[in-house]
Structure 1
Amino acid sequence: MIVGHDKAVEAFDSARRSGSLHHAWLLAGPKGVGKATFARAAATRVLADAAGPKVDLPGLQTPTEHPTARLVEARSHPDMRLLERLENEKTGALARNITVDQVRGLAELFDLTPSMSPWRAVVIDAADDLEKSAANALLKMLEEPPANCVFLLVSHAPGRLLPTIRSRCRALSFQPLGDDVMASLLETHAPTINAAERARIIAKAGGSVGRAVAFAALDLARLQDAAAKILRDGDPTNARRADLAIELGRKGAAERYAAFLDLVPTLIALEARRHSGRQLERALDAYAQSRELASLAPRLSLDPASTVFQLGGILASVASRPVP
Structure 2
Amino acid sequence: MTSLVGNEAARGAIEAADAAGNLHHAWLITGAEGLGKASFARTAAERLLARAANDMAGRTAAMIAAGAHPDYRVLARLPVDADKPEKGTARSITIGQVRGLGPMLGIKPSMSDRRVIVIDAIDDLERPAANALLKSLEEPPAGTIFLLVSHAPGRLLPTIRSRCRLLRFDVLREGEMRTVLRSAVPKATEAELAALIRAGAGSPGRALRFAGLDLAAIETALEAIARGGDGDTQHRVKLSKALSPKAAQPRYEAFLERVPAFIAEQARALRGEGLREALDAYAAATDLARASLAQSLDAATTTFEMGGYVARLARAR
Q: Scaled by the length of structure 1, what TM-score is found?
A: 0.72
State the shift of 1:25 in Å.
Answer: 0.8
Q: What CA distance in whole angstroms lies between the structure 2 residues aligned with 1:283 and 1:168?
A: 40
Instruction: Return the index of the structure with the highest Cα Rg.
Output: 2
| Paired residue secondary structure (2:69) | coil
Q: Which amino acid aligns with 2:60?
A: T
- Contact preservation (8 Å) 2:28, 2:161: yes
| Superposed CA RMSD | 4.2
Quote the Cα distance in structure 1 between the aligned partners of 2:256 and 2:25.
33
Match of 1:75 in 2: 67
Change (3 A) 1:251 1:150: farther
Asked if structure 2 preserves the Cα contact closer than 8 Å seen for 1:214 and 1:220, the reply is no
**CA positional deviation for 1:88:** 2.0
Once the two structures are TM-superposed, the CA of residue 194 in structure 1 deviates from its matched residue by 2.3
Q: Which residue of 1 aligns with 2:232?
A: none
In structure 2, distance between residues paired with 1:139 and 1:23: 13
Is residue 2:126 matched to residue 1:134?
no
Report the CA distance between 1:44 and its aligned residue. Answer: 0.8
- Residue-by-residue CA offset, 1:206-235 (whole Å, 9 max, x unaligned): 1111122222134455667788999998xx
Residues 8 and 173 in structure 1, CA contact (< 8 A), matched pair in contact too: yes
- Where structure 1 has 5 or more consecutive residues not aligned to the other structure, the ranges are 55-64, 234-239
Question: 1:275-290 maps to which residues of 2 (within 5 A)?
Answer: 279=275, 283=279
Q: How far does residue 144 in structure 1 lie from its aligned partner after superposition?
A: 1.4
Contact 1:220 1:256 in 2 (8 A): no
Shift of 1:251: 9.2
The 1-side partners of 2:125 and 2:92 are apart by: 6
Q: Do the aligned partners of residues 223 and 195 (structure 1) sit closer, same or farther apart at CA in structure 2, a change above 3 Å counting?
A: closer
Letter in 2 for 1:305: S
Shift of 1:256: 7.9
Amino acid at match of 1:108: P
The alignment covers a number of residue pairs equal to: 295
Change in Cα spacing, 1:32 to 1:224, as seen in structure 2 (3 Å) is farther
Q: Structure 1: how far apart are the matches of 2:51 and 2:37?
A: 21
Structure 2: runs of 5 or more not aligned: 230-235
CA pair 19-145 structure 1, distance change in 2 beyond 3 A? same
Q: Is the 8 A contact 1:79 1:120 kept in 2?
A: yes
Residue 199 of structure 1 and its aligned partner are, at CA, apart by 2.4
Alignment of 1:44-193 (within 5 A): 44-53=46-55, 66-89=58-81, 90=84, 92-193=87-188
Give yes or no for contact 1:28–1:171 (8 Å, CA) kept in 2: yes
**Matched residues, percent identical?**
46
Q: Is the 8 A contact 1:103 1:138 kept in 2?
A: yes
Alpha-carbon distance in structure 2 between the residues aligned to 1:160 and 1:248: 38
What amino acid is aligned across from residue 130 of structure 1 in structure 2?
Answer: L
Whole-Å separation in 1 of the counterparts to 2:67 and 2:213: 27
Inter-partner Cα distance in structure 2 for 1:184 and 1:12: 24
Deviation at 1:269, TM superposition (A): 6.1
**Do the aligned partners of 1:32 and 1:208 also contact (CA within 8 Å) in 2?**
yes
